[in-house]
Amino acid sequence: MAAATPFAPPPKRPADPLGLQLKELGLYVMAERYQELAEEALKAKSPYAHYLASLVSAQLAARMDRSFRERLARARFPVLKTLEEYDFSFQPGVDERQVRTLAELHFLERAENVLFIGPPGVGKTHLATALGVKACAARRRVAFYPIGDLLDQLALAQAAGLLPAKLVELSRLNLLILDELGYLALDATRANLLFQVVSRLYERSSIILTTNRRFEAWGEILAGDAVIAGAILDRLLHHRHLFATNGPSYRTPDLTGVQEPAGSGRELNR
Ligand code: ADP
Ligand code: MG
C-alpha cells in the first residue's frame, strides 16, 4: 500500500454492492447490519438460515416499530397512557380482568363496543387511550376524538358537502374512540351526525365511548331528542362491554366525599 502523503486523496469507502441492493429494495436495516451480523454468525458458527433469520428479524422489528409510531400519531391521542400505568387497586369498581381481556383485542374482531361511564377522574379517558394504544400496537387503524371535536368537524364537512367522504373515512377505522360525551350538550345537527357515525360503524368497527352521564340522561344531552338518543344507544349497546364506576377521582383523591357542584358529572351517585 502506498504511504499516505499530505496530498493524497482521502481513501475511498470500499464499494458495497449488496448494501446498495438492499437499500434499493428499501431494506435499510438489513443494509446497515448484514456485515456485523455476518461476523457474529461466523464466530458463533451458526447456520446460514439463522443468519438470514436474524437479519430479517432486525428489519421487521424496525418496520413494526415505525408502523406503531405512525399509527399512534395518526390516532391523535391527547396524552399517551398505558394499561401498565393504571392502578386498578385505586379503582376497585373497574374490573381488572375484564379490562385485561379487552386488551387482547378480540372485541375488535367482533366489532363490539366499549363504554366507560363515571364521574370525572376515574380513568375513563386513560383506559380508552390504553386500549387504543394496544390496538395501534396490533396494527389496527385507530382514531381518538374528543366527541365535540369530531362532531364539529363533521358539521363543517356537511356544510361543505363533504360528509359522505368523512363517513367513509371513519368507517375504515377498526376502532373509533369518542371521548367525553355529556360535558357539552349537542345541538340537533350534531346529535344527528353522531347517529350517522354510530350507524355507519355498527357491526363493522368498534367504538369506545366515555361519558359522565348515565343513559337516562342521554336524551337531554342529545338536543333533547329521546328518539335519537334511543336509536344511538340501541346500536351502541347491542354488542358492548360496559364499565360503570362511581369511584374516587384519581385527580383529587383528597376531595372524595366532598360535595361537588351540580352538573359536574356526579349524577351517577344520585
Ligand atoms: P376521566 O376521563 O375519567 O375524567 P382520566 O382518565 O382523564 O379520567 O384520569 C385523570 C388522570 O388521572 C389522568 O392523568 C389519568 O392517567 C390518571 N388516572 C386516573 N385513574 C387512574 C388510576 N386508577 N391509576 C393511575 N392513573 C389514573
Ligand atoms: Mg376523560
**56 pLDDT above the threshold of 70:** yes
Cell of 24: 434499493
Measure 208 CA to ligand 1 centroid, in angstroms.
16
The closest-lying atom of ligand 1 relative to the alpha carbon of residue 87 is 24
**Residue 79: DSSP 8-state:** S
Identify which ligand lies nearest to the alpha carbon of 126: 1
Q: Judge whether 258 and 251 are in contact, CB under 8 Å.
A: no
* Residue closest to 244 by CA, chosen among 102, 94, 88, 86: 94
Nearest CA to ligand 1 atom 16: 126
* pLDDT at position 15: 86
pLDDT tens profile 187-205: 999 999 999 999 999 999 9
Nearest CA to ligand 1 atom 20: 123
* pLDDT at position 64: 83
Cell of 220: 337531554
Alpha carbon separation from 54 to 29, 40, 64, 73, 175 (Å, rounded): 11, 11, 15, 29, 33
Rounded-to-integer distance, Cα 247 and Cα 121, Å = 9
Measure 262 CA to ligand 2 centroid, in angstroms.
18
pLDDT tens profile 64-73: 889 999 999 9
* pLDDT at position 12: 66
Identify which ligand lies nearest to the alpha carbon of 181: 2
Measure 87 CA to ligand 1 centroid, in angstroms.
9
Mutate to test the pocket of ligand 1, among 126, 177, 181 (most ligand atoms within 8 A of CB): 126
Rounded-to-integer distance, Cα 270 and Cα 268, Å = 6
Average pLDDT (100-105) is 98
* pLDDT at position 216: 93
Identify which ligand lies nearest to the alpha carbon of 91: 1
More confident residue, 9 or 108: 108
pLDDT tens profile 204-241: 999 999 999 999 999 999 999 999 999 999 999 999 99
Please state, for a pLDDT cut of 90, what percent of the chain lies above it.
83
Q: Domains in the chain, start-ordered, CATH in brackets?
A: 18-69 (no CATH), 76-269 (3.40.50.300)
Identify which ligand lies nearest to the alpha carbon of 89: 1
Rounded-to-integer distance, Cα 191 and Cα 217, Å = 14
More confident residue, 100 or 251: 100
Measure 85 CA to ligand 1 centroid, in angstroms.
10
Which residues are within 8 A (CB) of 222 and not within 5 positions of it... i.e. 6 or more apart? 186, 191, 194, 228, 229, 232
The closest-lying atom of ligand 1 relative to the alpha carbon of residue 116 is 3
More confident residue, 248 or 261: 248
* pLDDT at position 258: 52
**138 pLDDT above the threshold of 60:** yes
Average pLDDT (116-124) is 96
Q: 262: pLDDT confidence band, cut at 50, 70 and 90?
A: very low
**What is the overall mean pLDDT for the chain?**
91
- Ligand 1 pocket (Cβ < 6 Å) reads 81, 85-87, 90-91, 120-126, 210, 250-251
